[in-house]
């Protein structure tokens, strides 16, 4: 017989639940408490920030819930950033509204984004809130939604958030509370699956495509367990770790990973495993990585119709690199559309250093507030797309019905110029 955990609330939490702070807070607290009971959490935890995924339009129910909160006077009580919406509010002409369905999504998306702003959320509109100046530190409890944001916060920053989804995210922002369960607790953060990269050549690890491919492979090996990576660079950049985590979260539901010698809770393998033993160990080979990269792609040669960079949203370093690659060389092929998705904050930095103008001069469309695999932006003629993102490659075929090829940013630019696949060391 399974033992049931009793949820203990503080006097302040009982007051919120009873409606002392208003009906909006009471409604939000009911959502938090019900989830906590479902998860058998012993208590709630105070969170210092929230990242809300619910602002992406998924139908009338998402808008009805947000509007109800606004009608009740809901306001967030902690700093709250917003994930991507269903519109690029700065470049609305990029969004296709050819069909009744697309027009409904565009209108509903606008209304939903406005509703969350009315509750006091920040107009960040990014899946990468960890690229913003204010981000949580080691051991800080937060309530973040969006899979790649969750895995980055837990793994690279050492903050603590469980996997929160729509409605719980805004409820946590309104109450400042989340269930103390899952990855909020120390015991759940123990490394479970060792992914041993020590036999891989340095040239393989240094390749840009290694990181999303490794994440995709590790996600399949780990599922929702916590992988521990051995043999990776101790100076791995945040962009490399971002690519790793995003692909692992997409392919397997990973919410936390450790890189021994690099991430804050893994100075040693023993620390990552919390002194225990791993469930299993996988020693990676180049053949395994090659197979994973092929699995992420649905074509390998021939013409391309578009390139999509920036899933998760491109950082200022990535935008600067892309601009540098585009400044010299032949123009982009006229039959290839080129998109880069980023946040308003990173775009502002790119405006300052000239990268944004260099990209525009080359014919690149800079997308903010959303992403090209969740919003109708690609032309109906587009069928074959190159990307440097494992996450985009994983989701786009099912989401928007295109074939994909994973390549480095340099390969994406070379292919966009040629109008066909150009891979390093290949004449394809």
Q: Quick: pLDDT tens for 94-112.
A: 999 999 999 999 999 999 9
Closest by CA to 90, choosing from 354, 322, 348, 321, is: 348
Closest by CA to 117, choosing from 87, 159, 160, 93, is: 87
Please count the structural domains in the chain: 3
Do 207 and 86 fall into the same domain? no
Domain boundary among 186, 203, 232: 186
Domain assignment present for 1: no
DSSP string, 94-152: GS---SHHHHHHHHHHHHHHHHHHHTT-BTT--S-GGGSS----TT-B-EEBSHHHHHH
Q: Are 319 and 409 in contact (CB under 8 A)?
A: no
Band of residue 329 on the pLDDT scale cut at 50, 70, 90: confident
Torsion (CA) 13, 17, 19, 24 in degrees, nearest 10 = 100
pLDDT (mean) for 232-252: 97
Do 133 and 232 fall into the same domain? no
| Neighbour tally for 352: CB within 10 Å | 10
Band of residue 385 on the pLDDT scale cut at 50, 70, 90: very high
Domain assignment present for 132: yes
User: Residue 165: what pLDDT?
Assistant: 85
Counting Cα atoms < 13 Å in the Cβ hemisphere of 422 gives 14
User: Residue 424: what pLDDT?
Assistant: 87
Do 330 and 413 fall into the same domain? yes
Domain assignment present for 6: no
User: Residue 1: what pLDDT?
Assistant: 43
Do 314 and 286 fall into the same domain? no
Domain boundary among 168, 186, 204: 186
Domain assignment present for 214: yes
Mean pLDDT of the chain: 96
Band of residue 155 on the pLDDT scale cut at 50, 70, 90: very high
Do 264 and 368 fall into the same domain? no
Domain assignment present for 140: yes
pLDDT (mean) for 9-25: 98
User: Residue 427: what pLDDT?
Assistant: 40
User: Residue 5: what pLDDT?
Assistant: 81
pLDDT (mean) for 307-318: 98
d(CA 105, CA 97): 9
Do 172 and 199 fall into the same domain? no
Domain assignment present for 94: yes
pLDDT digits (tens, 9 = 90+) for 51-81: 999 999 999 999 999 999 999 999 999 999 9
Do 202 and 269 fall into the same domain? yes
pLDDT at 175 over 90: yes
Residues 6 or more apart in contact with residue 99 via CB below 8 angstroms: none
User: Residue 345: what pLDDT?
Assistant: 98
Do 120 and 215 fall into the same domain? no
pLDDT (mean) for 144-148: 96
pLDDT at 426 over 60: no
Domain boundary among 136, 167, 186: 186
Band of residue 139 on the pLDDT scale cut at 50, 70, 90: very high
pLDDT at 297 over 50: yes
Do 150 and 260 fall into the same domain? no
pLDDT (mean) for 197-226: 97
Do 28 and 163 fall into the same domain? yes
Closest by CA to 82, choosing from 42, 47, 36, 50, is: 50
d(CA 405, CA 389): 10
Residues 6 or more apart in contact with residue 352 via CB below 8 angstroms: none
Widest distance between CA atoms in the chain? 69
Domain assignment present for 427: no
pLDDT at 4 over 80: no
Do 166 and 18 fall into the same domain? yes
pLDDT at 226 over 70: yes
DSSP 366: E
Do 26 and 163 fall into the same domain? yes
d(CA 23, CA 403): 48
Domain assignment present for 388: yes
Q: Is the dihedral of CA 297, 300, 304, 308 positive or negative?
A: positive
User: Residue 2: what pLDDT?
Assistant: 53
Backbone angles phi, psi at 292, to 5 degrees: -65, -40
Domain with 354 in it: 297-418
pLDDT above 90 covers what percent of the chain?
97
User: Residue 37: what pLDDT?
Assistant: 97
């Amino acid at each position: 017989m399974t033992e049931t955990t009793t949820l203990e609330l503080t006097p302040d939490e009982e007051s919120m639940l009873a409606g002392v702070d208003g009906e909006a807070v009471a409604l939000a607290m009911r959502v938090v408490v019900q989830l906590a009971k479902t998860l058998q959490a012993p208590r709630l935890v105070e969170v210092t920030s929230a990242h809300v995924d619910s602002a992406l339009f998924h139908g009338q129910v998402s808008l009805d819930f947000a509007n109800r909160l606004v009608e009740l006077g809901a306001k967030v009580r902690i700093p709250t950033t917003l994930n991507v919406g269903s519109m690029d509010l700065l470049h609305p002409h990029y969004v296709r509204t050819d069909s009744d369905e697309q027009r409904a999504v565009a209108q509903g998306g606008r209304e939903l984004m406005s509703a969350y702003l009315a509750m006091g959320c920040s107009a960040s509109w990014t899946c990468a809130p960890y690229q913003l100046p204010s981000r949580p530190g080691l051991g800080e409890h937060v309530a973040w939604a969006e899979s790649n944001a969750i895995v980055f916060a837990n793994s690279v920053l050492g903050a603590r958030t469980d996997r929160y989804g729509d409605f719980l995210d805004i409820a946590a922002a309104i109450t400042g509370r989340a269930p103390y369960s899952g990855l909020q607790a120390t015991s759940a953060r123990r490394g479970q699956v060792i992914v041993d990269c020590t036999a891989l050549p340095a040239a393989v690890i240094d390749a840009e495509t290694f990181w999303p491919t490794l994440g995709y492979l590790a996600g399949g090996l780990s599922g929702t367990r916590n992988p521990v990576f051995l043999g990776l660079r101790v100076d791995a950049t945040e962009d490399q770790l971002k690519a790793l985590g995003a692909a692992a979260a997409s392919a397997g539901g990973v919410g936390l990973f450790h890189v021994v010698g690099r991430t804050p809770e893994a100075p040693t393998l023993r620390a990552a495993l919390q002194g225990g033993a791993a469930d299993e160990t996988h020693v990676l080979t180049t053949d395994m990585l090659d197979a994973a990269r092929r699995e992420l792609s649905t074509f390998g040669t021939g013409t391309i119709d578009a390139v999509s960079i920036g899933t998760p949203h491109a950082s200022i370093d990535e935008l600067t690199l892309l601009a540098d690659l585009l400044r010299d060389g032949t123009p982009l092929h006229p039959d290839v559309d080129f998109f880069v998705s980023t946040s308003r904050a990173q775009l502002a930095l790119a405006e300052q250093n000239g990268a944004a103008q260099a990209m525009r001069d080359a014919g690149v469309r800079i997308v903010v507030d959303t992403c090209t695999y969740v919003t109708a932006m690609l032309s109906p003629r587009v069928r074959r797309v190159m990307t440097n993102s494992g996450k985009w490659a994983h989701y786009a075929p099912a989401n928007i019905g295109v074939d994909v090829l994973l390549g480095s940013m340099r390969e994406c630019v070379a292919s966009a110029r040629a109008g066909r696949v150009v891979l390093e060391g290949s004449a394809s």
